[in-house]
Amino acid sequence: MKTDALTQYIPTLEDMLVAHERIKPHIHRTPVLTSSFLNELTGAELFFKCENFQKAGAFKVRGASDAVFGLDEETAKAGVATHSSGNHALSLSYAAGRRGIPCHVVMPRTAPQAKKDAVRGYGGIITECEPSTSSREAVFAEVEARTGAEFVHPYNDPRVIAGQGTCSKELMEQTDGLDAVVAPIGGGGMVSGTCLTLSNLAPEVKIFAAEPEQADDAARSFRAGHIIADDAPETVADGLKVPLKELTWHFVSNHVSDILTASEQEIVDAMRLIWARMKIVMEPSSAVPMATILKNRDVFAGKRVGIIITGGNVDLGKLPWSILRSEDRS
């Protein structure tokens, strides 16, 4: 299917169910953890879907695997290509490596070194770009033309959205009903997959998206009623810098109850809190939902809330609380 046709096709519940069967041999059914301390702190009952324990360390392996293993043999020969700040890049590299095909990736030069190392470790071929949407797309066009590889967009792709939707399917199976689910939003792939699944299987569950204040174009789009795209926002949540696209806007505008935002300090504080209390490694982007719940206790008090911890790929030598502290001293 051509890229233009892909971006116009709205994935269905059946696509998600087929995706789940297709990717099961290549992913983990990640656990759902709880914390009595965090329940007391927020006044809600929280259920953390730990995609930081996923293959390649992030939920994005779900959508990437669906796209890669759904290719016909002829298309697969040329390999796959994408642009990504990190987790989609390493997830697509992982899936392509499992299938034995090439993977070409355009990554911002500022992407965390841990993510670049992981991409190369899985056999991905990196071309660097400047940390802006315009640079990313311009450099990618050159790579795509040179390689002839199949473009797998990080989120504006029905195969990817269908794959991401498998996460909330598992979450609902692992919990005895939820009132709400909160997931981070950048381009909207995970949120769209969540909308796809829950609007069909559990329409009573409210879906909230969580976004950094410094990269809040999804929140502004939601309130304006049309896509607003920032080119190069700066935020510690490096996975949430990209704008919504047509497919993800369809799901966000039709199924999301609200988009909540958190400051840089609130994100870092929430990340450190979860590291300390739950003893799990998560990246800043994954902490945004917890930050927004702490900031909006009245919205979630007394509710059963699912939180998707989207990934755990961090540079251990550049933990954000250390960086913020050093900036305060300078």
Token representation of residue 152: 């797998």
What CATH number has the domain spanning 3-58+158-329? 3.40.50.1100
**CA-CA distances (angstroms) from residue 259 to 182, 213, 319?**
9, 11, 26
Give the three-state DSSP class for 297.
helix
Measured CA to CA, the distance from residue 182 to residue 73 in angstroms comes to 37
**CA-CA distances (angstroms) from residue 176 to 32, 93, 169, 173?**
12, 35, 13, 7
Dihedrals phi, psi of 72, to nearest 5 degrees: -75, 165
DSSP 8-state symbol, 178: -
User: Residues near 289 by Cβ (< 8 Å), separated by ≥ 6?
Assistant: 182, 183, 184, 208, 210, 307, 308
Nearest to 91 by CA among 124, 129, 48, 114: 124
User: Residues near 228 by Cβ (< 8 Å), separated by ≥ 6?
Assistant: 217, 220, 221, 243
Q: Is 329 exposed, middle or buried (0-12, 13-18, 19+ CB in 10 A)?
A: exposed
Q: Give me the tens of pLDDT residue by residue for the chain, a chain 330 residues long.
A: 555 666 679 999 999 999 999 999 999 999 999 999 999 999 999 999 999 999 999 999 999 999 999 999 999 999 999 998 788 999 999 999 999 999 999 999 988 888 899 899 999 999 999 988 899 889 999 999 999 999 999 999 999 999 999 999 999 999 999 999 999 999 999 999 999 999 999 999 999 999 999 999 999 999 999 999 998 899 999 889 989 999 999 999 999 999 999 999 999 999 999 999 999 999 999 999 999 999 999 999 999 999 999 999 888 888 998 765 555 555
pTM: 0.92
User: Residues near 122 by Cβ (< 8 Å), separated by ≥ 6?
Assistant: 56, 90, 93, 94, 96, 97, 103
Domain boundaries, the chain: 3-58+158-329, 61-151
Say whether 61-151 and 3-58+158-329 share the same fold: yes
> Other CB atoms closer than 10 Å to residue 1's CB: what's the count?
12
The amino acid that residue 248 corresponds to is T
Four-way CATH pick for 61-151: 3.40.50.1100, 3.40.640.10, 3.40.1190.20, 3.40.50.620: 3.40.50.1100
User: Residues near 74 by Cβ (< 8 Å), separated by ≥ 6?
Assistant: none
Token representation of residue 295: 């900031």
